[in-house]
Amino acid sequence: MDLWKKTLDVLEGSVEPYDFKNWILPIQCDTIDQDGREIVLSVPDASHGEWLQENFIGEIKETLRSFTQHDYRVRFTYYGAYGDDDRQAAGRSTIAPVPQGAPPDLIHRYRFEEFVDGPTNQFAMTAARAVADHPGTRYNPLFIFGGVGLGKTHLLHAIGHAVVERNPAARVFYVTSETYVNDLIAAIRTDKMHAFRKRYRDDCDVLLVDDIQFIAGKDRSQEEFFHMFNTLHSAHKQIVMTCDQLPQSIPDMEDRLKSRLQWGLIADIKPPGFETRVAILKKKAEADGMDLPDDAAMLIARHVTRNVRELEGALMRVEANARMMRREIDVHLVEQTLSDIIGDGLRRVQPDQIVKAVCAEFKVQISELKGPRRHRNITVPRQIAMYLVRELTDESLPQIGGLFGGRDHSTVINALKRVEALRDANPDTRNRIEKVRRQLRE
């Protein structure tokens, strides 16, 4: 794990503090396989992993290589993706933003306080709160269903947090049904059914099962789940499940289990309406310490309608762009950043996209590209960026100089000439320019 600690130290110096805190710090190093040259990093959820994959994977790999002289494969898993407690403990380093006392599998920010309610999720949220206030007595089981990215997992974790806040002694157990199935298979294979049953029945007061639909079609899992359900239920232990559909519509599920799932309360979540989407965006931006004006929030909300995960993704892109370009968020920046979603059919390449793409390709920081340094490692990418801005946008020479740290227009002219020459002389440079240009056109 030393390798990961060293990597973190380097990243802390090279990544923007905001990004470091929000994206890098929550990573927990799970395993490092020195022989297989693979590192497994555990992150809060899938969207966090995707974000890292898109934005920081290069820097992470580069840093690993600088210590090991080898290329490492980086794989992401999600907190709570395992059933095995030991592995979980081992994978959880001390830097994780998991507060003392909260069950380890719960994502910190998935709390009721962070959940924005509106007409399409209010019933589910109220039911979830009631269950958290009176576990095992009111609605048992609580069954929350709805489409992807609508806050089911968020509510499930929120129940867990709230239960533990009220009663720190309560034993809350969160699993995805996939984890449950894997746990069961492992228990059968290693002849440890006794321990398995103890864990899920005796050592647990509130059981939270995410995405129950995955046990469909798995006979042994359904059977075990059925008996577990009966045991927990008759002991007045709370069970909460989420699913992508109604119990009666889950294909390949035993009827007796379907009927159990309908014993308590069924609550659905639908995609949020416009006002709620705006409210969600405002709340997220505030939590991120970003100022999001109403008209900018409304513009995003108008175009991203399907689910909350996509809404968050769009906001993240806008925020990242604002920080990178050191600009306030406004309607213009939103239009620019989300041109693929908002665009009027006509997609224009923006100078800052070019800068970003060149920096990614040549592995230099944007601040360096726009800064005063004259080291060849930086001047070449800087000149190439100027060249591409000239080619792909309507910016004038003085404007281009201004974009790159206030350089004057004769510097830009020289840069364009240098790149022409380099391009003709050096196939590697030519290929890299071509690659960036292709990326920008995609």
Taking the CA atoms of 246, 248, 249 and 251 in sequence, report the sign of the dihedral they define.
positive
Question: What is the C-alpha separation between 11 and 366, in angstroms, rounded?
Answer: 16
Name the binder of 42 from Mg ion, ligand ADP, none, CB < 5-8 A by kind.
none
Question: What is the C-alpha separation between 126 and 209, in angstroms, rounded?
Answer: 19
Binding region for ligand ADP (CB under 6 A) out of 53-61, 152-160, 180-188, 190-198: 152-160
Q: Which amino acid is at 146?
A: G
Kindly tell me which of 150 and 320 has the beta carbon lying closer to ligand ADP.
150
Question: What is the C-alpha separation between 340 and 16, in angstroms, rounded?
Answer: 26
Tokens 């224009």 map to which residue? 348
ω into residue 141 within 30 of 0, thus cis? yes
Q: What's the token pair of residue 293?
A: 């004006």
Q: What is the SS3 assignment for 99?
A: coil
Q: How many residues bind Mg ion (CB under 5 A)?
A: 2
Tell whether residue 301 is a contact of ligand ADP (CB under 6 A): no
Question: What is the C-alpha separation between 35 and 332, in angstroms, rounded?
Answer: 49
Q: How far is the CB of 60 from ligand ADP (least distance, A)?
A: 22
Tokens 């990614």 map to which residue? 360
Residues numbered 118-157 forming contacts with Mg ion, rule: CB under 5 A: 152-153
Q: How many residues bind ligand ADP (CB under 6 A)?
A: 16
Binding region for ligand ADP (CB under 6 A) out of 146-154, 295-303, 345-353, 404-412: 146-154
Among 150, 239, 297, 300, binds ligand ADP (CB under 6 A): 150
Tell whether residue 309 is a contact of ligand ADP (CB under 6 A): yes
Tell whether residue 179 is a contact of ligand ADP (CB under 6 A): no
Kindly tell me which of 268 and 395 has the beta carbon lying closer to ligand ADP.
268
Nearest 5°: CA angle at 421, between 417 and 423?
115
Residues numbered 278-297 forming contacts with ligand ADP, rule: CB under 6 A: 280
Contacts of 333 (CB under 8 A, 6+ apart): 296, 318, 321, 322, 325, 327
- Residue among 25, 42, 147 nearest 97 (CA): 25
Tell whether residue 22 is a contact of ligand ADP (CB under 6 A): no
Interaction pattern, residues 312-341, with ligand ADP; x per rule: CB under 6 A:
x-----------------------------
Among 7, 140, 153, 383, binds ligand ADP (CB under 6 A): 153
Tell whether residue 213 is a contact of Mg ion (CB under 5 A): no
Q: How far is the CB of 280 from Mg ion (least distance, A)?
A: 16
Name the binder of 200 from Mg ion, ligand ADP, none, CB < 5-8 A by kind.
none
Kindly tell me which of 147 and 402 has the beta carbon lying closer to ligand ADP.
147
Q: How far is the CB of 261 from ligand ADP (least distance, A)?
A: 17
Residues numbered 45-64 forming contacts with ligand ADP, rule: CB under 6 A: none
Tell whether residue 308 is a contact of ligand ADP (CB under 6 A): yes
Taking the CA atoms of 279, 112, 152 and 20 in sequence, report the sign of the dihedral they define.
positive
- β 265-269/142-146 pair status: parallel
User: Starting from the edge strand earliest in sequence, which strands make up the sheet with 265-269, in order?
Assistant: 172-176, 206-210, 238-243, 142-146, 265-269
Instruction: Give the residue closest to ligand ADP by C-beta.
Output: 151
Kindly tell me which of 156 and 433 has the beta carbon lying closer to ligand ADP.
156
Kindly tell me which of 152 and 218 has the beta carbon lying closer to Mg ion.
152
Residues forming a β-bridge with 87: none
- DSSP secondary structure string for all residues of 358-395: HHHHHT--HHHHHSS---HHHHHHHHHHHHHHHHHS--
Report how far Cα 155 is from the mean position of its chain's Cα atoms: 17
Name the binder of 317 from ligand ADP, Mg ion, none, CB < 5-8 A by kind.
none
Binding region for ligand ADP (CB under 6 A) out of 221-229, 296-304, 305-313, 328-336: 305-313
**From start to end of 308-378, where are the E strands?**
none
Residues numbered 81-140 forming contacts with ligand ADP, rule: CB under 6 A: 110, 114-116, 121
The residues binding ligand ADP (CB under 6 A) are 110, 114-116, 121, 148-154, 280, 308-309, 312
The residues binding Mg ion (CB under 5 A) are 152-153
